[in-house]
Amino acid sequence: MCGICGILRFEQGVEVDPAQVTAMSSSLLHRGPDDEGLYINSRVGLGHRRLSIIDIAGGRQPMKSQDTGSLQVIVYNGEIYNYRELRRELQGLGHTFKTESDTEVLLHAYGQWDHGCTERLQGMFAFAIWDEKNQSLFLARDRMGIKPLYYHLDRKAFVFASEVRAIQRSSLVQTGLEKSVLDAFLTLGYIPGRRTFFKGIRKLMPGHAMTVTAEGDVKSRRYWNFSDVQPANLTFADAMKRLRELLRQAVQMRLVSDVPLGVFLSGGLDSSAIAALMCQLSEKKVKTFSIGYDTDDGSNELPYARNIAEAFGTDHHEFILKPYDFLDAIPRMVEMAEEPLVEMPAIALYQLARAAKPHATVLLSGEGSDEVFGGYGLYQRMLMMEKGYPFLRFLKWFPRHLGSGDRISKYMDWVSSPLAARYRGTSADVTERIRGSFYSADYLRYVEENRYTDQVFSEYFDDVAHCDKLSQLLYVDSKTWLPDDLLLKADKMTMTASVELRVPFLDHEIVEFVSSLPANYKIRNGEGKFILKKVMEGLLPQEIIYRKKMGFTVPTERWFAGELLEPAKDIILGGRLMNTGWFQKKYLENMFERHRRGKEDYSRRIFSLLVLYHWLNIFT
């Protein structure tokens, strides 16, 4: 796992300043504390920070290759899990290798198959290759968006990096708030699609590659998608057998490492399944890491994680997160995530990664299972509403403030809209009726004129208009919430601690296979992740498989109604946020009072405003 960056200048006679690339690379130290490297050649400069995982001695970057008759130079972040198979295939085609690294395999794969190399890769990656012969940069990002890649493009230069901070350090880019995505953040808790919270900085989309020439010509293409996967004609028993094989294969591939491994263990189905498979497949004792809280409100999952650790005999480690540790960590979380996230578990993940670092450099997690197998209860509620929509759509004409509280407003917006207009992901918090109370009149007009969120979701729903409704929901979440929130959180929080995170459930072969299965293999009789649960029977205890889903919980409802209420209130109702002119103060005061009295849980919206406050302080 690493950090990459680079500059390509378009102006004739203007060369890259090595100091600029050095500054960019230095800002990525946390992503790669083990080594650094630069490549500077006239109009192009590449930088790399390395976290050594495979071939510690031989995998230094930037790495050069001249075996194909022309110079090619790569900077790469990630892991190619099938690199050994690709290496053997390339050797059969006449390629020779000097190292045991997957980086060299990737470089030779480009030399052999050019831009088509991406389709042959199985893993998580973001890379850039300077092709001297073609005078162009070729960049690609993995299928699911596990690894990030940002860029800035103008008439003078193309600047890219694993993180926004490196692009800012180039001194070639002036950034500020991208106002058009503010509503997306407040609504969803993240920024979907190509745009970021930073004006002038974009994301290379998952499953996409792009070519940038020295003259400034840019071409982008999507090299992978799963919207048109053909239905699998398999019995449930055969589907279970195939899924069991794919899960074992995915975990086995992710155990390749020259440094210690472990697993984040919450005690839920997903992380317990990964831990159990690791224990079956690993020759070494598996290390497990869990975080909990001093609380008796049901949010503490440590007892469940402890039961799994004892059942499989792991080397188990536990850590406790306290309320003020949580509040004090928000600015650090915002700074390292760069893009604001309403992900309260991000702080727990960051603290856990820091605690795990002395014991393991590579950690596996159960991330992505819900989006692949249909684990969120919201999916079932949406499908039920879909059945009743023809009879309920007239409710959209009811008064904006019908009922009391935002829960009623949100429900009214849901039941009065068709699926493609209603569904904005599992994290959607602000709907049309809520905006009318939450936003100021001026900002509400701006939002209604700049419907960025709707545009992004409409495109994805169009991709799968031919699919069943559950497949539509899973596809949309896999293209938005998953890469732009969950995976961004997972990458940034673990890399801040110089830890590599691997996510077996998002192996693209698993994603393709499960998407080919009938909806009732995924949700049946009110049971989400049905086929995964059946596959895990006999391996995990029944009480783990079928207990109520909690996720990576943090007890913020209680904290924000208790010891953190006044500190949060002082920050949000203070000058910085109120002076923006975006919000109605009366609404915010009422929000705090209702939360304090237990009338409604506003912890998510409180947290989103705290994150926004700190983002403005740090980045503007």
Active site residues: 2
Place of tokens 């808790």: 189
Instruction: Give CA–CA dist 513/507, Å, rounded.
Output: 10
Query: How crowded is the C-beta side of 29, counted as CA atoms within 13 Å?
Result: 5
* CA dihedral for 27, 149, 501, 322, sign (positive or negative): positive
Can you tell me the distance from the alpha carbon of 362 to that of 346, in angstroms, rounded to the nearest whole number? 18
Instruction: Map residue 37 onto helix, strand or coil.
Output: strand
Which residues have CB under 8 Å from 562's CB, separation 6+? 323
Question: 560 is written with which tokens?
Answer: 């924000």
Residues 476, 480, 485, 488, Cα dihedral to 10°:
120
Asked if 108 contacts 65 with a C-beta cutoff of 8 angstroms, the reply is: yes
C-alpha span between 224 and 212 (Å, rounded): 20
Residue type, 389: Y
Sheet with 315-320: list strands edge to edge: 315-320, 287-292, 261-264, 362-364, 500-502
Please state, in angstroms and rounded to a whole number, the distance separating the CA atoms of residues 71 and 73: 7
Cα 26 to its chain centre, rounded Å, is: 24
558 close to 295: Cβ distance less than 8 angstroms: yes
Cα separation, 537 vs 546, in Å, equals 10
DSSP-assigned letter for residue 484: I
Dihedral pair phi/psi, residue 299, rounded to 5°: -90, -10
For 65, other C-beta atoms within 10 Å of its C-beta total 18
- How many Cβ atoms from other residues are within 10 Å of residue 466's Cβ? 10
Furthest-apart CA pair in the chain: how many Å? 72
> What tokens does 519 get?
């909806």
Phi-psi region of 130 (alpha: psi -120 to 50; beta: other; left: phi over 0): beta
* DSSP assignment letter at 524: B
Residues composing the chain: 620
